[in-house]
Structure 1
Amino acid sequence: MAIDIRVMVRIPEIKPDLLQELVQTATDRINLRLGVSEFPNELESIAVEVVCAMYNRKYHAGIKSENADTFSVSFVDDLLKEYEPDFTRYLEMKEKQENANRGVLRFL
C-alpha cells in the first residue's frame, strides 16, 4: 500500500511493525467513519496525515493540554474530525457517480 511508503518519507525512523499497525488502525477508522468496507484510494493522503499524527502523539497519549514555559502541547480528541468536510465531499461524489445512470433508458 502506498500509505506505508508515504509515511516512511515523512517519518524515516518509524519501525515497520508500528507503521503497519498505525496504517491498519487509520484505514479501519476511516472505513468505519465512511461506512465502507474497502479503503478508498482517493483518501490515502488523509490516512498518511492521520498515521503521522498518531505516531507523533504515541508518547503523549491522552494529553489534552500541557504547558511548560513557552512550550505547549495539545491534542484533538478525534483525529478524523478535521477531515469531516473531506469525508462528506467524498461520499457526495460517490453518490453522484452511482446516481449518474439512474433513470437513463438505453436501447440495445
Structure 2
Amino acid sequence: MKNYDTLVDATNDLLKRGYTANLSLDGDTIDDKEQGIQMIADDFEIDEFYRFEGASNPDDMSIVYAVSSEKYNLKGVLVNAYGTYADDSSSAIAAKLHHHQVGQNLHGDDRPTT
C-alpha cells in the first residue's frame, strides 16, 4: 500500500487507478449522485483507506476510502470526516466504515487482523 502526504495526493492517485466515482455518505447509503446509485453496506467493499490529520487544525481530519462495487460495476472515492466533524450515524454503513478504520492498520494495510 502507498503512503500519501496529503488528501489531495491520495484522491488524485486513486483517480488515476480507476476510482473515478465521486461518492458521498448519505445516512444509510453511499451514493454516486452522478449515476443515481445508492449503495447499502452489502453493495460495496472498502479496498483501501487513508487517514489524514490537519497539520494546523486538529478539526481538519478526514479519511479517504477507495470503494468498489461489483453489483454496480463502479470504483470510487469517499472522503469522510472523523473526530469533531464525524458522522456519528449508527447505520450499517457507519459500522462498516468504522470496522475498517479499527480493524486494519492505517494507510490501507490489508493484512488480516486476529
Q: Which structure's CA Rg is the greater one?
A: 1
TM-score of the superposition, structure 1-length normalised?
Answer: 0.24
Give the structure with the higher percent helix: 1
TM-score of the superposition, structure 2-length normalised?
Answer: 0.23
Highest relative contact order (Cα 8 Å, sep 6+), 1 or 2? 2
Give the structure with the higher percent strand: 2
